[in-house]
Chains A and B, each alone.
Chain A
Amino acid sequence: MSFHLILFLAFGAVCVGGAVNLLAQRHPINSALSLIAVMAALAGEYLLLGAEFVAAVQVIVYAGAVMVLFVFVIMLLNAGEEEETKGSHVAFLLGVPGVLTGSVLTAWVMVRHSGTEAVAIGALPGHPTDIAQLLFHDFLLPFEVTSVLILIAIMGAVVLASKPEATARKVD
């Protein structure tokens, strides 16, 4: 029982618990908070793998910005507890068993074939300089494209979420 394994299991338990809690909660704000917990635990996992930069970005961007956005929207829309409406039969009867079988099969395959090669703690050489090299040399085009993508997303979000009279006046 190496220290690595204990830490992995601890963070893993938090992930699993948060994920299950997200499903179990009825109020969206509770689900949002569970998700934040999951993301934090995942950041821990990343650290265990040696990807410090990714862990930092995870906390800053994901847990810090995206989830905050979610919480703000829940507040804005005054989302309440979920109502019990008649759902879709297909989702329950076909979808859940389907996804369960799919994931079980995949997991089984992965376990069988990936063997017991271990990943050492901190295995990744996650030096930011190297990452920067990759990002700005080999992956320059995707990098620039994603910045354009964000720009488009900003514009789209602003237009979509603005009040209708506001956009109408702008058009006139």
Chain B
Amino acid sequence: MNPMLNLWLIPILPLAGAAINGFLGKKSSRAAVTIVALFFSGAALAWALWVAMRFSSLALPYHEYLVHWIRSGNFSVDFAFYLDQLSLVMLLVVTGVGFLIHIYSVGYIWEDPSYYRFFSYLNLFMFFMLTLVLASNYLMMFIGWEGVGLASYLLIGFWFTKDSAASAGKKAFIVNRIGDFGFLIALFLLIKHFGSLNFDQVFQSITPLGAETAGAGLLTTIGILLMVGAAGKSAQIPLYVWLPDAMEGPTPVSALIHAATMVTAGVYMVSRSHVIFERAPIALTVVAIIGTLTAFFAATIGIAQTDIKKVLAYSTISQLGYMFMACGVGAFSAGIFHLMTHAFFKGLLFLAAGSVIHAVGGEQDMRKMGGLRSYIPWTFLTMGIATLAISGIPPLAGFWSKDEILWKAYQVSWLYWLIGLITAFITSFYMFRLLFMTFFGDYRGARVDEHGHGSHGHDEHGHGEPHESPMVMLAPLMILALLSLVGGLVGIGNGFEHFLAPVFGTSEVAEAAGRGTELLLMGVSVVVALLGWLLAYWLYCVRPELPQKIGDSLDGLYEAVVHKYYIDELYAAIFVRPLINGSTRILWQGVDRKIIDAAVNDAGDGARHVSDEVRHMQSGNIRSYAGWIAAGSAVVIAFMIWMGVR
């Protein structure tokens, strides 16, 4: 029997923080708001660590029932929590990285007048994300799913007075909703065919079923629909378009939500549903293909971007593609491993980018940066570590996880491996391009005077020169850098995979090719990463005039890449504009004005006209009154006689 761990505290503590800051924060001092926000998110982290310490003594999976929710016939869903190795990993990542980003935000958002609102939203996001991760049934997961979408909308549109920020928030939420539609249909199918949404019951019902190799069946449909939901939340093709726009939000938001936690919810959901996917090979293939294509596609866009945050956004999409590729080849634990390491180095990259932006007074265009490594050495050091990690240079974290994915992919098909390898090359290239453009060469930016100018000038204290960030922002950077350095070592000797084995089963993919091939492939990927580094070095440090010439010569293709292959314009033409037109012309002017308004107005007009006619009865002439009475009584008499005669 398990001791009561009170898991419910972990989501509820940030919720309390959100409520306190949300309702009382406006009148409180910044210090009070900070203490509340940090206390509650820190308390959640502390509790999560305490749970982790007791983890080995638990009988897994651990269930905690809070209160019953829906009871309808045979279908019942409760507010209940669930803990196993997978949710423990997610829990620690979310609370740990989340808390670090809370600390960082204290420094980043200090100047903003809506300081309290930011932390209220941030805590609210933690609540929903933790609900998602700790849920023991799909419906609670869906609550968390929707809730993080809401928090994302609120935080992307944090500076809502800016049109672009408000639109970006809307875009994120709407595109998410499209994915959620698929998720919901999958839930309905689960309810219909398995009568429950609880993980235990559903997976127990599904386990005895055989794999659907013959063709698409129920499990394939559910799998593909779940993938639609994941594609929306985790920004895969075709629903990735919201993530680059989401960079309108403050940088800590980008770090927490769009790098480390929310976008990984899709990967978590797919991994949690591995029982379904393992029995639906077609759905798995779809997942793998989407992941691989997205990884490659986003990486190519990242080459040509000039906004530092946009590069990181496309990099996130690309890395998420890797995770889905891993899930798609059945290597779920590899996907989760990459999720964890990605949280470290991508979170670090975003926070460091925020530090850079803070240093140059709000400028985000890399063409106006350069040579910053002498001004902001600590930021440079941590960002450099993160860049090494994401490029897959050993022995940093990214190498272990990315290599694990490539190895497992190779065992299923060399094509996945090849595309993944090329993408790794491109990744290394554009990350080092970012590093060189930002920190090396000469400083191309404007002197920061009284007010920092730049397209995103939120940071407005001028000090004349780029300056290092305060310690409250640097400390999380250093901790995350440390994690990026050593975080991957848990993967040595398949340690991580063994840890997650009780969830996913051991050796999901047969070790077909053996140890030697694995080492060979490892070597190849390291070489490829180094090649990307070299190419970036040559193009941006040695011969900085070359990129422009290459871009000019590739003209049309280059333009397409810079404009993200015009996908946003395509969506606007196919989906957005017809919808808006249809809504305006048909629904608003046609249905709302002509039918509904007309019905109501005509009802009123009709009543008025009828009474206009009827009022003539009241003529004031008693003879006409008597006439009406006589006629009426004749009718009544006739009726009574008729009734009597019958």
A94 CB-CB contact with B under 8 Å: yes
Query: Which residues of chain B in 629-644 are interfacial with respect to chain A, using CB atoms and an 8 Å cutoff?
Result: 629-635, 637-638, 641, 644
Contact at B631–A94, with CB atoms within 8 Å? yes
Residues of A within 8 A of B (CB): 87-99, 101-102, 105-106, 109
Residues of chain B lying within 8 A (CB to CB) of residue A106: 637, 641
- Given B619, B621, B634, B641, which contacts A98 in the complex, CB threshold below 8 Å? B634
Q: A105-B641, A109-B641 are in contact. Are A91 and B623 (CB under 8 A)?
A: yes
Q: Which residue of B lies closest to A113 (CB)?
A: B644
Residues of B within 8 A of A (CB): 619, 621, 623-624, 626-635, 637-638, 641, 644
A93 CA to B631 CA in the complex, in Å? 10
Residues of chain B lying within 8 A (CB to CB) of residue A97: 631, 634
A124 CA to B623 CA in the complex, in Å? 39
Q: Which residue of A lies closest to B621 (CB)?
A: A88
Q: A105-B641, A106-B637 are in contact. Are A98 and B630 (CB under 8 A)?
A: yes
Contact at B619–A95, with CB atoms within 8 Å? no
Residues of chain B lying within 8 A (CB to CB) of residue A96: 627, 630
- Given A87, A88, A99, A109, which contacts B630 in the complex, CB threshold below 8 Å? A99
A99 CA to B628 CA in the complex, in Å? 10
A90 CA to B629 CA in the complex, in Å? 10
A85 CA to B644 CA in the complex, in Å? 42
Q: Which residue of A lies closest to B644 (CB)?
A: A109
Q: A94-B628, A109-B641 are in contact. Are A87 and B623 (CB under 8 A)?
A: yes
A99 CA to B632 CA in the complex, in Å? 9
A95 CA to B626 CA in the complex, in Å? 7
Residues of chain B lying within 8 A (CB to CB) of residue A98: 627, 630-635
Residues of chain A lying within 8 A (CB to CB) of residue B624: 88-91, 95
Q: Which residue of A lies closest to B631 (CB)?
A: A98
Residues of chain B lying within 8 A (CB to CB) of residue A89: 624
What are some 20 contacts across the A-B interface (CB < 8 A)? Answer: A88-B621, A88-B627, A90-B627, A91-B621, A91-B623, A91-B624, A91-B626, A92-B627, A94-B631, A95-B630, A97-B631, A97-B634, A98-B632, A98-B634, A99-B634, A101-B638, A102-B630, A102-B637, A105-B637, A105-B638
Residues of chain B lying within 8 A (CB to CB) of residue A105: 634, 637-638, 641
A101 CA to B629 CA in the complex, in Å? 13
A51 CA to B314 CA in the complex, in Å? 114
Given A95-B626, A95-B631, A101-B638, 5 additional A-B pairs, CB 8 A: A88-B619, A88-B623, A95-B627, A95-B630, A105-B641
Cβ distance B637 to chain A, nearest Cβ, rounded Å: 5
A97 CA to B638 CA in the complex, in Å? 13
Cβ distance B622 to chain A, nearest Cβ, rounded Å: 9
Contact at A90–B628, with CB atoms within 8 Å? yes
